[in-house]
Amino acid sequence: MVKSYFTSLVMTYKRLITVFTLVSLLSACGFHLRGDYLLNDELQTLYVSSSDIHGELTRLVKQHLSHNQVKVLKHKNTQVPELRIMSDTLDRRTLSVFENGQVAEYELIYAVHYQLRFANEEPKSFHFELNRDYQDDPSLALAKSRELSLLLSEMRTSAADKILRDMARVQR
C-alpha cells in the first residue's frame, strides 16, 4: 500500500517537472500565443479614432487592443496616445479575362493608412497594403459573393493584426 502511494507520488512529481520544463523552454525561446503583442507601457491606455467609427476595421482594432489588455478610452484625452485610422480602401485590378471579355480573376488591394500620435509630438504615419487574388465565376455568382465577403473580412482581420504588430515595434 505504501509502495503504491510512493510510486504515484513520484509519477506526479515527474509530470510536474516535465510540465515546468516545457513551459520554461517555451517562454525562454520567446514564444507567445498568436495575437498577443507586447505593447509599450505608454500604449496601455489609448484613444482610437477613425474616419469610419463604426467600420469593421475600427471595431477589430479595438477588439484586438482589448484582448491585449489595452484600455481604450471613449473620449479623447490629450495626454494619452491616439491611434487614428485615416483610411482603409479596397481596390481591385484585373488579372485575367475569359474569352468573352468577362473578368475571370481580380487582385484585391486593401490599403490602410493610420497614424499614432503621442502628446506634444509629431504623428507617426504608417501605410500598408494587403493583396489577395480572387477568381470570379459568373455561373456561381451567389457563392462567389459570399467568398468575396469572407475574403474581405479576413483581410480586415489581418490588417488589425498588422496594426498591433506595428504598434509593438514603436520605440520612442
Per the prediction, the chain carries an average pLDDT of: 85
Q: How far is CA 110 from CA 84, 119, 133, 166, 168, in A?
A: 17, 30, 11, 17, 22
pLDDT at 77: 86
Report the range out of 28-42, 132-146, 158-172 with the highest average pLDDT.
158-172
Hey, what's the cell of 167? 504598434
Measured distance between the N- and C-terminal CA atoms of the chain, rounded to whole angstroms: 64
pTM of the model: 0.73
Q: What is the pLDDT of residues 106-164, one digit of tens each?
A: 899 999 999 999 988 899 999 999 999 988 776 776 677 888 889 999 999 999 999 99
What span, in angstroms and rounded, lies between the C-alpha atoms of 168 and 43?
Answer: 9
To the nearest 10 degrees (0 to 180), the angle between helices 56-67 and 141-169 is 50
Q: Which residue has the cell 502511494?
A: 5
The answer to whether the Cα torsion of 159, 59, 171, 125 is positive or negative is positive
What pLDDT is stored for residue 50 in this prediction?
92
Q: How crowded is residue 135: how many other Cβ atoms within 10 Å of its Cβ?
A: 13
In this prediction, residue 26 has a pLDDT band, given cuts at 50, 70 and 90, of low
